[in-house]
Amino acid sequence: MADKAQIQEAIKVQGEVVRKLKSEKASKEQIDEEVSKLLQLKAQIGGDDGKHQFVLKTAKGTRDYNPKQMAIREKVFNTILGCFKRHGAETIDTPVFELKETLTGKYGEDSKLIYDLKDQGGELLSLRYDLTVPFARYLAMNKITNIKRYHIAKVYRRDNPAMTRGRYREFYQCDFDIAGQYDAMIPDAECLKIVYEILSELDIGDFRIKVNDRRILDGMFAVCGVPDDKFRTICSTVDKLDKMPWEEVRKEMVSEKGLSEEAADQIGEYVSLQGGMELAERLLQDQKMSQSKQACAGLTDIKLLFSYLQLFQVTDKVVFDLSLARGLDYYTGIIYEGVLTQTGIAAEAQNGAEESVSVGSVAGGGRYDGLVGMFDPKGRKVPCVGVSIGIERIFSIMEQKAEASAQRVRTTEVQVMVVSAQKNLLEERLKLLTELWNAGIKAEVIYKKNPKLLSQLQYCEDSGIPLVAILGEQELKDGVVKLRAVATREEADISRADLIAEIKRRTSEA
Amino acid sequence: MADKAQIQEAIKVQGEVVRKLKSEKASKEQIDEEVSKLLQLKAQIGGDDGKHQFVLKTAKGTRDYNPKQMAIREKVFNTILGCFKRHGAETIDTPVFELKETLTGKYGEDSKLIYDLKDQGGELLSLRYDLTVPFARYLAMNKITNIKRYHIAKVYRRDNPAMTRGRYREFYQCDFDIAGQYDAMIPDAECLKIVYEILSELDIGDFRIKVNDRRILDGMFAVCGVPDDKFRTICSTVDKLDKMPWEEVRKEMVSEKGLSEEAADQIGEYVSLQGGMELAERLLQDQKMSQSKQACAGLTDIKLLFSYLQLFQVTDKVVFDLSLARGLDYYTGIIYEGVLTQTGIAAEAQNGAEESVSVGSVAGGGRYDGLVGMFDPKGRKVPCVGVSIGIERIFSIMEQKAEASAQRVRTTEVQVMVVSAQKNLLEERLKLLTELWNAGIKAEVIYKKNPKLLSQLQYCEDSGIPLVAILGEQELKDGVVKLRAVATREEADISRADLIAEIKRRTSEA
What is the full per-residue pLDDT of chain B (510 aa) written as tens digits?
456 777 777 888 888 888 888 888 777 777 877 887 887 777 666 544 444 556 899 999 999 999 999 999 999 999 999 999 999 999 999 999 999 999 988 887 788 999 999 999 889 999 999 999 999 999 999 999 999 999 999 999 998 888 777 789 999 999 999 999 999 999 999 999 999 999 999 999 999 999 999 999 999 999 999 999 999 889 989 988 888 899 999 999 999 999 999 999 999 999 999 999 999 999 999 999 999 999 999 999 999 999 999 999 999 999 999 999 987 778 999 999 999 987 544 444 444 433 334 457 899 999 999 999 999 988 899 999 999 999 998 998 898 888 888 778 899 999 999 999 899 999 999 999 999 999 999 999 999 999 999 999 999 999 999 999 999 999 999 999 999 999 999 999 999 999 999 999 999 854
Tell me how crowded residue B401 is: count the other CB atoms within 10 A of its CB: 17
B-interface mutation test, from A7, A98, A101, A102, most B Cβ less than 10 A away: A101
| B430, B431, B436, B437 alpha-carbon torsion, rounded to 10° | 60
**Residue of chain B minimizing CA distance to A410:** B90
Vertex B352 angle, CA B347 and B353, to 5°: 70
Contact A59 B426 (CB under 8 A): no
B-interface mutation test, from A84, A152, A200, A447, most B Cβ less than 10 A away: A447
Reported as a single tens digit per residue, the pLDDT across A417-455 is: 999 989 999 999 999 999 999 999 999 999 999 999 999
Task: For chain A, report the end-to-end CA distance as a whole number of angstroms.
Answer: 59
Measured between beta carbons, the chain A residues lying within 8 angstroms of B429 are none
The per-residue pLDDT for A166 is 77
Q: Does the pLDDT value for residue A117 go beyond 80?
A: yes
Range name among A7-16, A327-336, A480-489, B485-494 with the lowest pLDDT average: A7-16
Q: What is the rounded average pLDDT of the residues A187-191? A: 98
The per-residue pLDDT for A48 is 44
Vertex B424 angle, CA B418 and B429, to 5°: 20
Contact B170 A54 (CB under 8 A): no
- Please state, in angstroms and rounded to a whole number, the distance separating the CA atoms of residues B66 and B60: 18
The per-residue pLDDT for A53 is 58
Contact B93 A138 (CB under 8 A): no
Residues paired with residue B483 on neighbouring β-strands, in sequence order: B469, B492
The per-residue pLDDT for B352 is 41
Contact B434 A87 (CB under 8 A): no
A:196-235 residues touching chain B, CB 8 A cutoff: 197
Distance of alpha carbon A72 from the chain centroid: 13
The per-residue pLDDT for B27 is 77
Reported as a single tens digit per residue, the pLDDT across A278-294 is: 999 999 999 999 999 99
Residue A135 at interface with chain B, using a CB cutoff of 8 Å: no
How, if at all, do strands B97-99 and B125-127 pair? antiparallel
- CA A447 to chain B, closest CA, distance in angstroms equals 6
**A416-509, CATH topology level:** Rossmann fold (3.40.50)
- Please state, in angstroms and rounded to a whole number, the distance separating the CA atoms of residues B276 and B306: 7
Contact A86 B138 (CB under 8 A): no
Measured between beta carbons, the chain A residues lying within 8 angstroms of B86 are 437, 440-443
Residue A88 at interface with chain B, using a CB cutoff of 8 Å: yes
Q: Residue ranges of the domains in chain B?
A: 4-44, 58-205+378-411, 206-341, 416-509
Reported as a single tens digit per residue, the pLDDT across A104-113 is: 888 877 889 9
Contact A59 B197 (CB under 8 A): no
Reported as a single tens digit per residue, the pLDDT across A493-506 is: 999 999 999 999 99
Phi, psi for residue B334 in degrees, rounded to 5: -55, 140
Q: Does the pLDDT value for residue A51 go beyond 70?
A: no
B:139-178 residues touching chain A, CB 8 A cutoff: 140-142, 147-149, 154, 156, 158, 170, 178
Contact A87 B444 (CB under 8 A): yes
The per-residue pLDDT for B188 is 98
Please determine whether the domains at A60-204+369-410 and A206-341 fall in the same fold group of CATH. Answer: yes
Residue A101 at interface with chain B, using a CB cutoff of 8 Å: yes
Distances in whole angstroms, Cα of residue A176 to Cα of each of A148, A366, A389, B358, B486? 7, 11, 9, 38, 27
B-interface mutation test, from A412, A417, A450, A465, most B Cβ less than 10 A away: A412
Contact A92 B197 (CB under 8 A): no
B:387-446 residues touching chain A, CB 8 A cutoff: 411-414, 426-427, 430-431, 434, 437-438, 440-445
Helix (H) or strand (E) holding B278, with range, is helix B277-285
Out of B70, B96, B122, name the one closest to residue A96 (CB): B96
A-interface mutation test, from B412, B450, B467, B500, most A Cβ less than 10 A away: B412
Measured between beta carbons, the chain B residues lying within 8 angstroms of A60 are 122-123
Helix (H) or strand (E) holding B10, with range, is helix B4-23
Residues paired with residue B156 on neighbouring β-strands, in sequence order: B170
- Please state, in angstroms and rounded to a whole number, the distance separating the CA atoms of residues B136 and B330: 11
pLDDT band at A356 (very low <50, low <70, confident <90, very high): very low
Contact A437 B197 (CB under 8 A): yes
- Please state, in angstroms and rounded to a whole number, the distance separating the CA atoms of residues B74 and A86: 17
Contact A92 B65 (CB under 8 A): yes
Measured between beta carbons, the chain A residues lying within 8 angstroms of B85 are 412-413, 442
Q: Does the pLDDT value for residue A411 go beyond 50?
A: yes
> A206-341: what CATH class?
alpha beta
**Residue of chain B minimizing CA distance to A154:** B96
Q: What is the rounded average pLDDT of the residues A45-69? A: 77
The region, left, alpha or beta by phi > 0 then psi within -120 to 50, assigned to residue B504 is alpha
Distances in whole angstroms, Cα of residue A187 to Cα of each of A182, A304, B198, B455, B467? 8, 12, 41, 18, 22
Q: What is the CATH number of domain B58-205+378-411?
A: 3.30.930.10
Q: Does the pLDDT value for residue A510 go beyond 60?
A: no
Axis crossing angle, helix B293-311 with helix B214-223, rounded to the nearest 10: 150
Contact B122 A33 (CB under 8 A): yes
The per-residue pLDDT for A457 is 94
Out of A154, A186, A447, name the one closest to residue B96 (CB): A154
> A60-204+369-410: what CATH class?
alpha beta
pLDDT band at A351 (very low <50, low <70, confident <90, very high): very low
Q: Which of A508, A504, A507, A500 is nearest to A434 (CA)?
A: A500
Say how many CB pairs under 8 Å bridge A and B.
Answer: 267
Reported as a single tens digit per residue, the pLDDT across A190-240 is: 999 999 999 999 999 999 999 999 999 999 999 999 999 999 889 989 988
